[in-house]
Chain A
Amino acid sequence: METPFVSTIFTVILFIGIALVFCLYALAVAYNSLKQRRVQDQIFVDKINQLLPQTQCGQCGYEGCEPYAQAISQGEAVNQCPPGGMATLVKLTTLLNDQVKPLNPAHGQFEVFKVAVIREDECIGCVKCIKACPVDAILGGPKLMHTVIEAECTGCDLCVDPCPVDCIDMVPVTAAESPAWALPSALPDDLNNFPNNVERQA
Chain B
Amino acid sequence: MSFLAGLFWDKSSTKAHKTPGGIKPADFKDHSLRSQIMTPPVPKELWLSLRQKDGNNLETLVAVGDKVLKHQLIAAATTPFGVPIHAPTSGQIKEIAAKLVVNAFEERQLHIVIAADGLDNSQQLHPLEMYQSISKIQLIAKLHDLGVGELGGADFPKVIKPDIANQSQTELLIINACECEPFISADEALIREKAEQVVIGVEILQRASGANNSVIAIETRMLDSIQALKAAVENRNIKLVLVQTKYPAGDKNQIIQAVTGKEVPSGDLQKDNSILVHNVGTAYAAYNAVIKGQAYISRITTLAGKPLKTAKNFEVLLGTPVPFLLELCGNDTLKQESTIVGGSLMGITLFEENVPITRKTNCIIAACSDWFPEPPAELACIRCGDCADVCPAKLLPQQLYAFSRSQDLENLEDQNLIDCIECGACSYVCPSNIPLVQYFRASKATQQDHLKQSELSGHWKERYQFHQSRLIKDKEESKTRKARVTKSRAANSESTDFSRSTAKTDIAAAVNRVKKRKIEAALKKAKEAKTEPGEGPI
Q: CB of A147 within 8 A of chain B?
A: no
Question: Nearest chain B CB to A49's CB is how many angstroms away?
Answer: 7
Are A65 and B464 also in contact (CB < 8 A) when A54-B458, A181-B442, A184-B378 are? yes
Residues A135 and B442 in contact, CB atoms below 8 Å apart: no
Question: Nearest chain B CB to A92's CB is how many angstroms away?
Answer: 14
Given B105, B380, B441, which contacts A191 in the complex, CB threshold below 8 Å? B380
Are A136 and B463 also in contact (CB < 8 A) when A54-B458, A190-B380 are? yes
Question: Nearest chain A CB to B427's CB is how many angstroms away?
Answer: 11
Contact with B along A109-149 (1 / 0, CB 8 A): 00000000000000000000000011111000000000000
Q: CB of A186 within 8 A of chain B?
A: yes
Residues A186 and B378 in contact, CB atoms below 8 Å apart: yes
Residues A200 and B406 in contact, CB atoms below 8 Å apart: yes
Residues A196 and B466 in contact, CB atoms below 8 Å apart: no
Residue on B with the closest CB to A188?
B378
Are A54 and B464 also in contact (CB < 8 A) when A178-B103, A183-B442 are? yes
Interface 9-mer from B126-134, B298-306, B321-329, B397-405: B397-405
CA distance A152 to B443 in the complex (A): 27
Are A194 and B107 also in contact (CB < 8 A) when A136-B466, A188-B377 are? no
**Chain B neighbourhood of A134, CB < 8 A:** 464, 467
**Chain A neighbourhood of B464, CB < 8 A:** 54, 56, 64-66, 134-135
Residues B107 and A135 in contact, CB atoms below 8 Å apart: no
Residues A183 and B402 in contact, CB atoms below 8 Å apart: no
Contact with A along B214-230 (1 / 0, CB 8 A): 00000000000000000
For chain B, what secondary structure do more than half of its interface residues adopt (helix, strand, loop), or is it mixed? helix
CA distance A133 to B470 in the complex (A): 13
Are A137 and B463 also in contact (CB < 8 A) when A178-B105, A196-B411, A199-B407 are? yes
Q: CB of B457 within 8 A of chain A?
A: yes
Residues A65 and B439 in contact, CB atoms below 8 Å apart: no
Q: CB of B445 within 8 A of chain A?
A: yes
**Chain A neighbourhood of B468, CB < 8 A:** 64
Residues A183 and B408 in contact, CB atoms below 8 Å apart: no
Chain B count of residues within 8 A CB distance of the other chain: 38
Residues A184 and B406 in contact, CB atoms below 8 Å apart: no
A interface, how many residues as a size bin?
35 or more
Q: CB of B461 within 8 A of chain A?
A: yes
Q: CB of A154 within 8 A of chain B?
A: yes
Chain B, range 343-381, C-beta contacts under 8 Å to A: 377-381
Contact with A along B397-425 (1 / 0, CB 8 A): 00000111111100100000000000000
Question: Nearest chain A CB to B509's CB is how many angstroms away?
Answer: 41
- Taking A66-B461, A133-B467 as known contacts, 5 extra A-B pairs with beta carbons closer than 8 A to each other, sorted by chain A number, are A52-B457, A136-B470, A181-B442, A183-B438, A184-B435
Tell me the B residues contacting A by CB distance below 8 Å: 103, 105, 107, 377-381, 402-408, 411, 435, 438-439, 441-445, 448-449, 457-461, 463-468, 470
Could you list some 13 contacts between A and B, CB below 8 A? A54-B457, A54-B458, A54-B461, A65-B461, A65-B464, A133-B467, A134-B464, A178-B107, A183-B404, A191-B381, A194-B405, A196-B403, A197-B406
Which 10 residue pairs across A and B have the least CB separation, nearest first?
A180-B445, A181-B441, A135-B463, A54-B457, A54-B460, A183-B442, A197-B406, A54-B461, A178-B107, A181-B442
